[in-house]
Amino acid sequence: MRPRFSQLWFLLATWSLISYLSSVDQVKAASAPALLLANELGPNVDPAKYLVSEKYDGVRAVWDGKVLRFRSGRVVPAPSWFIAKLPQPPLDGELWLARGRFDALSGIVRKSEPIDDEWRQLKYMIFELPDAPGTFAERAGRIQEIVAKTKWPQLIAVDQSRVANRAVLKKKLDEVVRGDGEGLMLHLADAPYVTGRSDALLKLKPLQDTEAVVIEHVAGKGKYTGMLGALRVRTPAGKIFLIGTGLTDEVRKNPPPAGATVTYTYRGLTKTGLPRFASYLRVRENF
């Protein structure tokens, strides 16, 4: 039996839509900027070789001199006046609101129609110059010069300082955490500009954090009957485990769907490579 014309048209339209969506995804992936990503600070690292800064709980944003993009490559829907204030040199940094206000920040930068009064509260915290020559210490000095020349209070050079040893580093971490800060970043002072995950950049937090993909919802029991009990997740290494703590009632009522990437905190790994005391933090936004 031959398919009708309408069936052929439907199949052709479906194939065209799939092809189009695939091409869009490829364009998005191709436009994602190559960035330096941090590893965790190891026990044998000498912090004296690094420049140390606060780890800002913001949204990564990269300026190429013409367009401001999220880490994903998507264009940041910032107001035109905000973009007009940015200097010509490429910049890498975090859009930031304040300590402990990531959720509010996320709501501001996701709006397709930006609200001027909200964007006037944000700061663009600069910590790197993409593809610039010299060591990181030299680039950090150049960032200070660019920010000073721009004379715009919302553009800020992230403060970079040296520490003599681990005891001083621990004291600095404690000060930041007591003030509701997230942690510290350590950037190798003599490192050239590199991209990808590298020990040139390290993070130090009271809790480690990473990401996993939701593969199943586990039903709740007792007071959580009718709600989410736990998320079954898979790590990039293929490890599968449950996250049952850190979930608010709102999350339990409206859990992240299967396929969503979530961020969780933990305290080291077991002998089998599973995270200890895994606790849900948030859904990773597609920035």
State how far the alpha carbon of 129 is from the alpha carbons of 9, 17, 50, 175, in Å: 51, 39, 17, 28
State how far the alpha carbon of 101 is from the alpha carbons of 87, 97, 98, 106, 250, in Å: 27, 6, 6, 9, 18
Q: Which residues pair with 123 in a beta bridge?
A: 96
Decide: 36 and 198 in contact? Cβ < 8 Å: yes
The helix or strand, by DSSP H or E, that contains position 230, with its residue range, turns out to be: strand 228-234
Token pair of 71 as six digits? 């880490």
The residue from 49, 55, 85, 171 that is catalytic is 55
As a whole number of angstroms, the distance between CA 242 and CA 230 comes to 6
- Collect contacts of 100-106 with beta carbons under 8 A, ≥24 apart: 100/57, 100/180, 102/57, 102/58, 102/282, 103/282, 105/58, 105/59, 106/59, 106/285
To the query of whether residue 55 is one of the catalytic residues in this protein, the response is: yes
* Measured distance between the N- and C-terminal CA atoms of the chain, rounded to whole angstroms: 49
- Comparing CA positions, the residue from 270, 267, 283, 214 lying closest to residue 243 is 214
Q: Is the dihedral of CA 163, 164, 169, 171 positive or negative?
A: negative
Which residues carry out catalysis? 55
